[in-house]
Chains A and B, each alone.
Chain A
Amino acid sequence: MTTATFTQSPTEQLGELHLATFRVGKLLTGIDIRHVVQISRVQEITPVPHAPTSVLGVINLRGEVVTEIDLGVLLGLSPIEITAEARQVIVLVAGEPVGLLVDRVADITVVRRETIDPRPENLNGCDARFFCGVYQQEAELLAVLDLEQMLAAVGDHAGPS
């Protein structure tokens, strides 16, 4: 599976992609902004026993119960520390809102599609399955997340080592 899985959209036809970018540990990573519902401070999380390790628990998002996932754990990096800079990114995937905990929000970056390179085999030690490509931004690499692929892997107990 090497093909990028972006859905067709007017933006894509124009060849432009808007990415909400943020940091997980040292990694700079981005999500197609059309998936993002909101970005907010980390709120109180109710832990769910027996949940997969990357799931921190559930939160009350305006009356809806939303699953909160530690993106650090999911990507095989260290868990997110809840500091003043940590944020939850609420994304809508397959009709269901999911909260992703990140260390810090970076910026919104507009990239042209053809400038996104195919993903390398290994990216700062985390599982490359979850990325659909990388983009050279100034001195560093911006890894573009494949949300559907990534969220489908939440239950995998094997997980990235």
Chain B
Amino acid sequence: MSLADQELIVEFVTESLAHLADSERQLLEIEASAPRINVELVNTVFRAVHSIKGAAGFLGLHAINQLAHHLENVLNLMRNRQLEPNSSAIDTLLRSVDCLRSLLGNVEQSNEANVSQFIDALRSLESNEAAQEGPLAALDGAAPMPRADASEAGHTVTGAVATPPTESSIRVPVHLLDGLMSLAGELVIGRNRLLQAIAEEDDRELETVGARLNQVTRDLQAAVMRSRMQPIGNVFTRFHRVVRDLSARFGKQCELVVEGQDVELDKAIVEAIGDPLTHLIRNSFDHGLETPEQRMLSGKPACGTIRLTATHQAGGVRITIEDDGAGIDGGRVKARAVARSLITAEQASAMSDRDALRLIFLPGFSTAEVITELSGRGVGMDVVKTNIARLGGTVDIETNVGLGTTIDIKLPLTLAIMSSLVVRSAAQRFAIPQNSIREIVRIRRADAASRIERIKNALVLRLRGQLLPLVRLGDVLGIPNAEHIETVIVIEVGRLCYGLIVDGVDDAEEIVVKPLGRHLKDCLCFTGAAVLGNGRVALILDVGGIADHAELAKPKGRAGANDRVAHVDEIAQQSVLLFANGSTERFAVPANQVKRIERITADQIESVGGCAVLQYSSCALPLLSLEHFIRAAPRPQCKRLFVVVFEVAGKELGLLAPRIHEIRTVPTKIDTNSFREPGVSGSIVLDGKTVRIVDLPTLAAMADPRRHDPSTTQSADLEPWPTISPLFQDAQQACVPAVVGR
């Protein structure tokens, strides 16, 4: 085979696979709209198969050509309305497409593969003797090249559903390549200027060139990253098929709703997230969804829903898998964990349901009473969690018994380059990924005694009325610590928060992540290493691994004790964000209900359908003015103002506040008589002035009575540590709001 031929074949395979990737989804859509025939879609699939057939014939790939030919015939009948796209016909088509794909995956040997069974099945459809059982039964497990498939779970290993082979080539828009080329050109010019400046010892020129190179490097980095970005929809499409096959096989009805297919992620992450997601979706299907009869009994529609959503969030991507099934019973989880001796009965009784949920991430845990074909083989959520952690992401779970379960995954956009904070411990430097840092707290020596406490050998920090478990980095790594605790990095891993004590903070640095060698694979406190600007190597801390090492996340450790402590503490005091609306009146909101604060200008406020909204990261944030809901003096006209962003029932809302004063720790005991009204939970007296406490959930309900019913919304201050997330940068001193826009 000549070189040119080989190139042609590679191109043919890439293109054909791209065609087929869409075909699967389209076939499923055709099935969904049956008995009406969506001729447009059938045509699209037909065209894809047709072009594969043509090219295969030209390249001498008989098997592919033959199979495509018969597929084409069947599709032709379908578009001429001579064949109904019933599930048996679609099944045969899907399996033939699968076969076609596996032939393409091994194109060199494709001519030797036996495809006669598929062709026979397609023929019987062609001759309109589409017997319901015939073609299907003939096909079971008959793929010419073994391929794990959901519907063949009986024969194959679990967890390996339809994983497409890692593609060795990707499509990149030409304009991106052009951009890269011109940046490479600028880089060369920059280097030449740099060499000249060094030769001439021209310091001023050096500075200019340095700045220019900095700019070019950044653009280059961004452009390369963009060229690696792939829509997550590439992974999502295959789940329609997974859910369809599972439904057919296990007699449950389930609809998969997919949102946010356009969200883009680094190619490496898109490829690696497929398996964990498959596992989670199968779990939701198997453990979450009830049978149609059970669902009817509990007053739910017979058909369950799994909702798969991807959104951009805080410089990363968030994927949620939401089912409306039975939910997870904390009691059962605990019982199972005790039965498997993962925890003791005492630990179980001291554990909150939320902590109990985390038990399912422990190795060797499985809740299914009966081990089914689908899941319950002991390789479960712990593998999912490890795989996601390897991608630098976190996974969390939330459940409502009887209503459903939500799995929440957060992923970084890219693996290769990340922003980090370089910290010191002893003389060593370590990098911490910025996306896991919530804030940095500096503790004055004078305050150390009052803010840091020791409870049962565990250090805790008093932070805005909460107790934050502390971990000394030196202790974890077995290197000496500084004597005084001055700098605490508040780390957020999923729902877990802890303070990492370091000796000092150096600088923020963009680092290129390098893997550690095979001899260091057991060092679970590090995710990799990076070469810093000074040429030295710094290890990148695995904040999850450190929490595990310090036994923060494990139920065996101190988590139970912390919960109780935090709870007691919360009764005593809470921290509130103080702000003004009119000129004199003062208001407060509990700081733990505030997600973040944005600074905006008045002209950024839009009016849509009589409601004020703010365009923020491509979605509209509804804005509330206090005076519309409670007795308050109207807000004066002002050019700049703040938006206090809070979340109720998963929806973000913004409260307009012209002036923000400070964050204060106040007693939780408030006067609930004098100024009580809907939207105001009570008042306190601070510095001789009355401050009214705004009840955010009620306010949200008043703003949109359909959406937010406060009775079903769990108020954030009922939850003990560690769910609360006020996102202020060192709010002890001052509040530095994030600025919207650039």
A residues touching B (Cβ–Cβ < 8 Å)? 44, 46-52, 55, 57-60, 63-67, 69, 94, 96, 98, 151, 154-155
B428 engages A47 (CB within 8 Å): yes
Complex contacts, B524 vs chain A, CB 8 Å: 50
A63 engages B531 (CB within 8 Å): yes
A65 engages B523 (CB within 8 Å): no
Known interface pairs A50-B478, A155-B522; A58-B536 also in contact (CB < 8 Å): no
Stretch at the interface among B24-32, B513-521, B659-667: B513-521
Q: Which of A60, A64, A65, A67 contacts B519 (CB 8 A)?
A: A67
B523 engages A49 (CB within 8 Å): yes
A2 to chain B minimum Cβ distance, whole angstroms, is 26
A50 engages B514 (CB within 8 Å): no
The interface on chain B, measured as residues whose beta carbon lies within 8 A of the other chain's beta carbons, has a size of 26
A86 to chain B minimum Cβ distance, whole angstroms, is 19
A139 to chain B minimum Cβ distance, whole angstroms, is 35
Complex contacts, B528 vs chain A, CB 8 Å: 65
A46 engages B536 (CB within 8 Å): yes
Complex contacts, A151 vs chain B, CB 8 Å: 519
Known interface pairs A60-B531, A65-B529, A65-B531; A48-B539 also in contact (CB < 8 Å): yes
B535: interface (CB < 8 Å): yes
Q: A71 to B518: give the CA distance in the assembly, Å.
A: 17
B538: interface (CB < 8 Å): yes
Q: Which of A46, A48, A96 contacts B523 (CB 8 A)?
A: A48
B428 engages A64 (CB within 8 Å): no
B526: interface (CB < 8 Å): yes
Q: Which of B428, B520, B531, B535 contacts A67 (CB 8 A)?
A: B520
Q: Which of B428, B477, B515, B518 contacts A46 (CB 8 A)?
A: B428
Complex contacts, A67 vs chain B, CB 8 Å: 516-517, 519-520
Complex contacts, A51 vs chain B, CB 8 Å: 519-520, 523
Q: Could you show 21 A-B contacts with beta carbons less than 8 Å apart?
A: A46-B536, A46-B537, A46-B538, A47-B428, A48-B523, A48-B526, A48-B539, A50-B478, A50-B524, A52-B519, A52-B522, A57-B537, A58-B516, A58-B529, A58-B539, A63-B531, A65-B515, A65-B531, A65-B537, A96-B517, A155-B519
CB-CB nearest in chain A for B523: A50
Q: Which of B479, B514, B517, B537 contacts A49 (CB 8 A)?
A: B479
A49 engages B525 (CB within 8 Å): yes
Mask of B493-535 contacts with A, CB within 8 angstroms, 1/0: 0000000000000000000001111111011111011110001
A46 to chain B minimum Cβ distance, whole angstroms, is 4
Q: A47 to B516: give the CA distance in the assembly, Å.
A: 12
Complex contacts, A64 vs chain B, CB 8 Å: 514
Complex contacts, A50 vs chain B, CB 8 Å: 477-478, 522-525
Complex contacts, B428 vs chain A, CB 8 Å: 46-47
CB-CB nearest in chain B for A45: B537
Complex contacts, B536 vs chain A, CB 8 Å: 44, 46, 60
Complex contacts, A46 vs chain B, CB 8 Å: 428, 529, 536-539
Of A50, A55, A64, A69, chain B has the most CB atoms within 10 Å of the CB of A50
Q: A151 to B516: give the CA distance in the assembly, Å.
A: 15
CB-CB nearest in chain B for A94: B518
Within 8 A of A (CB), among B15-58: none
CB-CB nearest in chain A for B539: A48
A95 to chain B minimum Cβ distance, whole angstroms, is 10
B481 to chain A minimum Cβ distance, whole angstroms, is 13
B520 engages A55 (CB within 8 Å): yes
Mask of B395-435 contacts with A, CB within 8 angstroms, 1/0: 00000000000000000000000000000000010000000
Q: A50 to B477: give the CA distance in the assembly, Å.
A: 7
A48 engages B520 (CB within 8 Å): yes
Of B517, B522, B525, chain A has the most CB atoms within 10 Å of the CB of B517
Complex contacts, B518 vs chain A, CB 8 Å: 94, 96
Complex contacts, A65 vs chain B, CB 8 Å: 514-517, 528-531, 537
